[in-house]
A = this chain, B = another copy of it.
Amino acid sequence: MPVNPDAVGLTGDPTERAWSSKDCLLYALGVGAGMEDPTGAELEFTTENSIGITQRVLPTIAVVLPSGGPDMSQLGRVDLTKLLHGDQTITLHREIPVEGCIRSTSRVAALYDKGSAAVAVLEVHSVLVEDGQPLFTNTMSLFMRGEGGFGGERGPSAARNAAPDRAPDHAVTYTTRTDQALLYRLNGDRNPLHADPTFAAKGGFPKPILHGLCTYGFTGRALLHALCGSDPSRFRSMDARFTSPVMPGEALTVRIWDDDSGRALFQTVAGDGRVVLDGGLCTFD
């Protein structure tokens, strides 16, 4: 039995990760900050010494800071080649500092049996070591093809936060670069699927695909600027579902529906209209 049906509630060993101002600058550039107007509004994310500007951190860095990613050892023996990243949620308990050290603990929050596939929901809680208080929480669902049929609950439908059937209130377009993944991977995810055409071809892709979490980061930037006045302290949470791979070089348009409640729906579409991130919900102050 590859997947452990009794995994729910199990936690992994805590891991620690220190990060620096430079790590934050590199992350910001990796998700396109400074590309559109390098001399303007994003200098607080791309520089640490501009006159009158204090460096701040893009909230979505929460997805790369925990060391080594989620601990999946509690799930049993998982075939990584059959693993797909379904949803990703980040919840910011406070603004992320430009340097620090976190202690992160993974927990299996749920395990669902979808028939042929299993879906695991992992939560990673990160506290700032300095004061021991929560900094952010990542929640991700992992879709494991061929691992279902163990008799578990089917769980909720993946579809939620559907995009309204009306024009968005904001539409922010960013263009990714053809070499975007080569830069983004320096944040930690060195999977050659995102860089090596030979490896990508083995996986059935015509060329290397962009990291889903890079698309997520571009999207988070758009939400931060459109909804939070570019102020990371107002960014509370972001939830979205990966629905299609993105090729480096594609344009991404983040469509945002904001009813002034502090909860905005969003989806991200590629230049050809393909929805690449769907079911998006952003909460903010």
List residues of chain A with CB under 8 Å of any chain B CB: 22, 25-26, 29, 34-35, 38-40, 43, 46-53, 177-179, 181-183, 185-186, 190, 192, 195-199, 207-208, 248
Contacts and interface: CB of A to CB of B under 8 A. Distances in A.
Interface on chain A toward B: helix, strand, loop, or mixed SS?
loop
Given A39-B197, A39-B208, A47 B186 contact: no
A196 B47 contact: yes
A179 B248 contact: no
Contact of A199 (B34, B51, B186): B51
A196 B51 contact: yes
Contacts of A35: 177-179
Most buried by B among A35, A53, A195: A195
Contacts of A197: 39-40
A30 to B, nearest CB: 10
Contact of A198 (B25, B52, B179): B52
Contacts of A199: 50-51
Contacts of A190: 48-49
A199 B47 CA distance: 12
Given A25-B182, A47-B182, A50-B196, 5 more contacts: A22-B186, A35-B179, A38-B178, A46-B179, A49-B190
